């Protein structure tokens, strides 16, 4: 008969292996950009500082979206985020940044109630249905791409691609 210690070690090994495999798969997927021409770029929000400036993480996401927009990947950018504790709507601040960098306001769709990734996926899916979008490129940090793509798949979006921001912090590990 096997001891409780032996069983506990085996369970820990299996769980640890599953965790490492999950982290590896998420990292590989998130760092493998597969942006294709799509109806829309979906940029997920992040912190807007108390003074109204964008956090470096959010600027990184928007800069990636600008690169994709300028490359002709999509004619439309959907920015999503909620009202941060700092007192600013992320979507509105993101639109202002994009407009200041040459994107026409008419090319930007703002979702100021996407305060979670799941809410953003639902809100984008509703917009996609009304506008007949069948494809999207998710733009966020590498570790956020897989989860967002999964949530969009659950919303029945047929073609979902990803592109990660070129901004990294130690906490990303």
Q: pTM of the full predicted structure?
A: 0.88
What's the full length of the chain, in residues? 173
- Cβ atoms of 43 and 79 within 8 Å: the answer is yes
**pLDDT values of the chain reduced to their tens digit, one per residue, 173 residues:** 677 788 778 877 778 788 888 777 777 767 678 889 999 999 999 999 999 999 999 999 999 999 999 999 999 999 999 998 889 999 999 999 999 999 999 999 999 999 999 999 999 999 999 999 999 999 999 888 999 999 999 999 989 999 999 877 777 66
């Amino acid at each position: 008969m096997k001891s409780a210690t032996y069983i506990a070690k085996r369970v820990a090994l299996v769980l640890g292996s599953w965790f490492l495999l999950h982290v590896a798969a998420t990292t590989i997927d998130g760092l493998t950009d597969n942006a294709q021409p799509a109806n829309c770029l979906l940029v997920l929000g992040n912190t807007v500082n108390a003074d109204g400036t964008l956090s470096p993480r959010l600027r990184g996401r928007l800069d990636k979206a600008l690169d994709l927009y300028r490359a002709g990947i999509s004619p439309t950018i959907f920015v999503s985020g909620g009202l941060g504790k700092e007192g600013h709507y992320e979507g509105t601040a993101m639109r202002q940044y994009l407009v200041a960098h040459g994107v026409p306001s008419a090319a930007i769709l703002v979702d100021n109630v996407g305060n979670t990734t799941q809410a953003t996926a639902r809100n984008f899916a509703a917009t996609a249905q009304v506008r007949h979008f069948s494809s999207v490129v998710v733009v966020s940090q590498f570790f956020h791409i897989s989860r967002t793509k999964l949530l969009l798949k659950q919303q029945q979006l047929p073609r979902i691609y990803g592109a990660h921001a070129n901004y990294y912090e130690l906490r990303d590990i």
